[in-house]
A and B are shown apart, each in its own frame.
Chain A
């Protein structure tokens, strides 16, 4: 079927619009960093209601407690001062809660429910309000661009590298906006949306490909299944990688402050979530992406069986998908192994993303294999 040129043009325009609006969102998040009210300074003990509104200071305290406990059990403690303080803080709060409950006797002390998302955004200040608006509008434009591209070429819009990158950044943005709202993690916006803007910008300038039909090898409904899963997982791992880098920066800073090598009070780093929170958020992101990646590999194997006569053949792209899978599996195991938690686990996770990026940017482009989309012969 012929390419619908008009729709393809609409798609291109919306893609550019998404890029511009995302850039505004990044500016908004950066403005929040520079001029917004500091929010993270609240402690669990002094202002209990705020703890759930912020990126779960409570959660941090709990993770801190857990990691701290592991540290006392003889493992290499990676909690740092933040974790220890969190553990101490949580103990104090629990004691206080217990006392008040037994003293009053008649007042129920039930865990608080969350502040609704919209109110949380409103309360986060004008910069965040603007940035979130831009993010959501940009995302809308991005989704429209991807969908119209698909309609223009009458297939799933991820048949070549340009389409793949625009789709995976769309997934990353979608997933990240969800994470940001779910965990009230406004402080992450400038980093993740920044990375998305860079990736999308490079896709627009370096590898732009006009809408076109597919070679026979890709004419299969498995394109929609296998590549969709891979795109989804890549977008999610992309977010995890940015979070991992932030973790390493924040953790290093905290370790240096604790060791007296750096002055506390670095405004930028103080504002991003504590390492323990970033760690947990990264983990949740990875365990969301990992089953999707696994599914994508299985779907790819089924497709490979149909198209090439074997479900697994160590084609370069298959090999690197396997390496990526193994590295993310290693991350999940490392996180449960004493002595590997924290920084080491994050390095593994980033190595996993590096292998994923290598697969997309180097193997699929420069190494010939069955995934070179060249058709038969």
Chain B
């Protein structure tokens, strides 16, 4: 892979042929060499042109690639807004001095930060500036014939020679037909050329593949942008038996693309009939999940025939081009709160959030603003398989084999009437009084009479909840297609080598001719040209021998001499 920047006015044909005179080389193939200052480009073009050249130079592309790698690093070490906003808040709390600075630098949202966008946009600008001229150059070189054969073929990196009984022109003709049969592009000596020769070239697909790779990367970027503009992602937590319609109001959390409006949501509705989780019960994997599945019934559009599906991990539900994934699960204990007068003021399955993903020990709150005489709040811990470890409750297994809830009750006069929205998973206990000093433990079916005439709370039973992700990404298929194209281009550019083979024949002293063969690979990445050339030379010699007028002549065996060019 030579990177000689031959001047365009290259006259010596030998050198031009021997070095693949055109400038492109390597993978991106920008003129990787020294970019001349603005003065060198002439006063007319000046600085803009010089800047453009700098941007599209391989060196700049390299630096940008580095920056891209370097810039991605913090995104994996620091918590990210997109992936885990809670962790970012936690980081702010534990690093009050450092966090605001990191935030100013966009380090909590690296992949959406302006500086990160600047890096990849510059990189793609550099790529376009390099790939577009190369596409034209490739189109041009596909139309121009291969260069003339150099005078001294034995000076090429690969060369061979064999004597022929044929006159020079016929010997070259035999070689040309063999090379043409191998789908080389040929150029025979014309009237104006001296000597008898044929130039053959092959492997334009290498450059084409290389260009395809880079253009496909551009396509991937566009596809991602497409998804970012027109796609959306939403979450919905459903307790067994609950139903929801895919509208912005019904979803828990929505991340819409920039150009998405409420009417763009797919009009389906879905009911979670049941959720089941199973776990390994023995061996070292005991307690690890073996299967999750959410059995749902859905209608693709209002009035459509309901269908059922079993959503599992790795097996989402597809409704038109929207997909529904199972991304989380947990327990929802059902509580009933009754006032002293016997009025039911709360009767709901309340989703608890796993605090320990291994044992599914979960936390949750029950808020009863309708409580009488006081508003009531409960902080609870749900233990699926309760065991007592040193006096405290622990969960021994994630399945609900011995379920227990432990509740702390709070009360207040009217603290829940505040207009400030509160998370349903958190209880703000400021202004509330603890009703008892110690938590109260309930088994399913048990009730707890609350002190102060506040009625009673009953742990009715257990349901499970599943959290679903609903996503729509119109860029998905284009991204996949571009990814596959990029891979195909990459393979072409690595597997195909562009090579030239020249054959010259000179009249020999005793009749017939001496044929010399020279070979040259531009980039012999996979390293096979040596072998290819050796067998090609042998075949050329054999074809020549069989085309010779004296069939009785002994077949020439290639002797074990090294390739002369090495």
Task: Check B490 against A290 for contact (C-beta < 8 Å).
Answer: yes
Q: A152 interface residue, CB < 8 Å from B?
A: no
- What CA separation (Å) do A108 and B313 show in the bound complex? 67
The minimal Cβ–Cβ distance linking B155 to chain A, given in whole angstroms, is 5
Specify which chain A residues have a CB less than 8 angstroms from the CB of B329 in the assembled complex: 376-377
Task: Check A111 against B160 for contact (C-beta < 8 Å).
Answer: yes
Specify which chain A residues have a CB less than 8 angstroms from the CB of B453 in the assembled complex: none
Task: Check B562 against A311 for contact (C-beta < 8 Å).
Answer: no
Specify which chain A residues have a CB less than 8 angstroms from the CB of B360 in the assembled complex: 377
Q: A62-B157, A319-B72 are in contact. Are A338 and B1 (CB under 8 A)?
A: no
Task: Check B27 against A112 for contact (C-beta < 8 Å).
Answer: no
Task: Check B3 against A75 for contact (C-beta < 8 Å).
Answer: yes
Task: Check B487 against A295 for contact (C-beta < 8 Å).
Answer: yes
- What CA separation (Å) do A306 and B111 show in the bound complex? 22
Q: B188 interface residue, CB < 8 Å from A?
A: no
- What CA separation (Å) do A63 and B85 show in the bound complex? 53
Specify which chain A residues have a CB less than 8 angstroms from the CB of B403 in the assembled complex: none
Task: Check B328 against A376 for contact (C-beta < 8 Å).
Answer: yes
The stretch from B57-65, B300-308, B454-462 touching chain A is B57-65
The stretch from B98-106, B376-384, B436-444, B552-560 touching chain A is B552-560
- What CA separation (Å) do A329 and B144 show in the bound complex? 31
Q: A29 interface residue, CB < 8 Å from B?
A: no
Q: A264 interface residue, CB < 8 Å from B?
A: no
Task: Check B530 against A111 for contact (C-beta < 8 Å).
Answer: yes
Q: A336 interface residue, CB < 8 Å from B?
A: yes
Q: A58-B566, A291-B491, A326-B65 are in contact. Are A336 and B558 (CB under 8 A)?
A: no
Task: Check A333 against B526 for contact (C-beta < 8 Å).
Answer: no
Cβ contacts B213-231/A at 8 Å (1 or 0 each)? 0000000000010000000
Complex: chain B residue closest to A302, CB-CB: B480
Interface size, chain B (Cβ < 8 Å): 106
The minimal Cβ–Cβ distance linking A224 to chain B, given in whole angstroms, is 13
Specify which chain B residues have a CB less than 8 angstroms from the CB of A58 in the assembled complex: 530, 562-563, 566
The stretch from B189-197, B257-265, B417-425, B508-516 touching chain A is B508-516
The minimal Cβ–Cβ distance linking B339 to chain A, given in whole angstroms, is 35
Specify which chain A residues have a CB less than 8 angstroms from the CB of B316 in the assembled complex: 306, 309
- Dominant secondary structure of chain A at its interface with chain B: helix
Q: A207 interface residue, CB < 8 Å from B?
A: no
Complex: chain A residue closest to B156, CB-CB: A94
Q: A220 interface residue, CB < 8 Å from B?
A: yes
Q: A262 interface residue, CB < 8 Å from B?
A: no
Specify which chain B residues have a CB less than 8 angstroms from the CB of A339 in the assembled complex: 59
Which residue of the partner chain, among A49, A114, A301, contacts B483 with CB atoms under 8 Å? A301
Which residue of the partner chain, among A70, A108, A216, contacts B558 with CB atoms under 8 Å? A108
- What CA separation (Å) do A94 and B360 show in the bound complex? 76
Task: Check A97 against B69 for contact (C-beta < 8 Å).
Answer: no
Q: A102 interface residue, CB < 8 Å from B?
A: yes
Q: A294 interface residue, CB < 8 Å from B?
A: yes
Q: A327-B69, A329-B65, A333-B62 are in contact. Are A111 and B26 (CB under 8 A)?
A: no
Task: Check A48 against B59 for contact (C-beta < 8 Å).
Answer: no
Q: A257 interface residue, CB < 8 Å from B?
A: no
The minimal Cβ–Cβ distance linking B138 to chain A, given in whole angstroms, is 16
Q: A112-B534, A333-B61 are in contact. Are A73 and B288 (CB under 8 A)?
A: no
- What CA separation (Å) do A326 and B526 show in the bound complex? 21
Complex: chain B residue closest to A112, CB-CB: B560
Q: 8 Å CB contacts to B: which residues of A335-377?
A: 335-340, 355, 363, 367, 369, 374-377
Specify which chain B residues have a CB less than 8 angstroms from the CB of A59 in the assembled complex: 527, 530
Task: Check B292 against A110 for contact (C-beta < 8 Å).
Answer: no
Specify which chain B residues have a CB less than 8 angstroms from the CB of A376 in the assembled complex: 289, 292, 313, 326-329
Q: A34 interface residue, CB < 8 Å from B?
A: no
Q: B541 interface residue, CB < 8 Å from A?
A: yes
- What CA separation (Å) do A264 and B33 show in the bound complex? 33
Task: Check A298 against B330 for contact (C-beta < 8 Å).
Answer: no
Complex: chain B residue closest to A340, CB-CB: B62
Specify which chain A residues have a CB less than 8 angstroms from the CB of B161 in the assembled complex: 101, 108-110
Q: A38 interface residue, CB < 8 Å from B?
A: no
Which residue of the partner chain, among A106, A114, A311, A377, contacts B479 with CB atoms under 8 Å? A311
Specify which chain A residues have a CB less than 8 angstroms from the CB of B25 in the assembled complex: 336
Q: B124 interface residue, CB < 8 Å from A?
A: no
- What CA separation (Å) do A110 and B77 show in the bound complex? 59
Q: A208 interface residue, CB < 8 Å from B?
A: no
Complex: chain B residue closest to A374, CB-CB: B357
Specify which chain A residues have a CB less than 8 angstroms from the CB of B566 in the assembled complex: 44, 51, 58, 61-62, 90, 93-94
- What CA separation (Å) do A307 and B292 show in the bound complex? 12
Which residue of the partner chain, among B473, B494, B563, contacts A291 with CB atoms under 8 Å? B494
Q: A335-B26, A340-B62 are in contact. Are A219 and B314 (CB under 8 A)?
A: yes
Q: Which 10 A-B pairs have the closest CB atoms?
A: A336-B26, A97-B564, A48-B562, A110-B558, A58-B566, A111-B563, A108-B162, A98-B154, A316-B76, A111-B534
Interface residues, chain A, with chain B CB atoms under 8 Å away? 3, 44, 48-49, 51-52, 56, 58-59, 61-62, 65-66, 69-70, 73-75, 90-91, 93-94, 96-98, 101-102, 105-114, 210, 212-213, 215-217, 219-220, 222, 280, 283-284, 287, 290-291, 294-295, 298, 301-303, 305-316, 319-320, 322-323, 326-327, 329-330, 332-340, 355, 363, 367, 369, 374-377
Interface residues, chain B, with chain A CB atoms under 8 Å away? 1-5, 19, 25-29, 32-34, 58-59, 61-62, 65-66, 68-69, 72-73, 75-77, 80, 82-83, 110-111, 152, 154-155, 157-163, 224, 233, 280, 283-285, 288-292, 312-316, 323, 325-330, 354, 357, 360, 469, 471, 473, 476, 479-480, 483-484, 486-487, 490-491, 494, 508-510, 514, 516, 525-527, 530-531, 533-534, 537-538, 541, 556, 558-566
Q: Could you write out 18 A-B pairs with CB less than 8 Å apart?
A: A61-B566, A70-B3, A93-B562, A93-B565, A97-B159, A98-B152, A105-B509, A112-B561, A294-B487, A309-B233, A313-B83, A315-B83, A319-B72, A319-B76, A326-B65, A333-B27, A334-B62, A367-B77
